[in-house]
Amino acid sequence: MLLESRTAIITGAAAERGIGLATARLFAEHGARTALLDVDGDGIDAAARELGPQHRAYVCDVTDAARCAAVADEVQEEFGGIDILINNAGVVFSTPIMDIAAEEYDAVMNINLRGNFHMARAVIPHMRKQGSGAIVCVSSIAGRVGGGVFGTTHYAAAKSGIFGLAKGLARELAPDGIRANAVAPGPIDNDFTHGKMTDEMKAELARKVPLGRIGQPRDIANACLFLASDLSSHVTGVVLDVNGGLFIH
DSSP label at residue 188:
B
Write down the pTM of the prediction: 0.96
pLDDT of residue 201: 85
pLDDT of residue 71: 98
Single out the catalytic residue among 155, 169, 186, 244. Answer: 155
Q: In what order do the strands lie in the sheet with 84-87?
A: 56-59, 33-38, 7-11, 84-87, 133-138, 178-185, 239-242
Helix residue ranges, H only, the chain:
19-29, 41-51, 65-79, 102-109, 115-130, 142-145, 153-173, 199-208, 217-228
pLDDT digits over 213-223, tens only?
A: 999 999 999 99
Percent of the chain residues past pLDDT 90, beyond the cut = 92
Reply yes or no on whether the pLDDT at 195 is more than 80: no
Domains located in the chain, CATH noted: 7-242 (3.40.50.720)
Active site residue 155: yes
pLDDT of residue 148: 77
How far apart are the C-alpha atoms of 226 and 229, rounded to whole Å?
5
Reply yes or no on whether the pLDDT at 192 is more than 80: no
Segment 105-127 mean pLDDT: 98
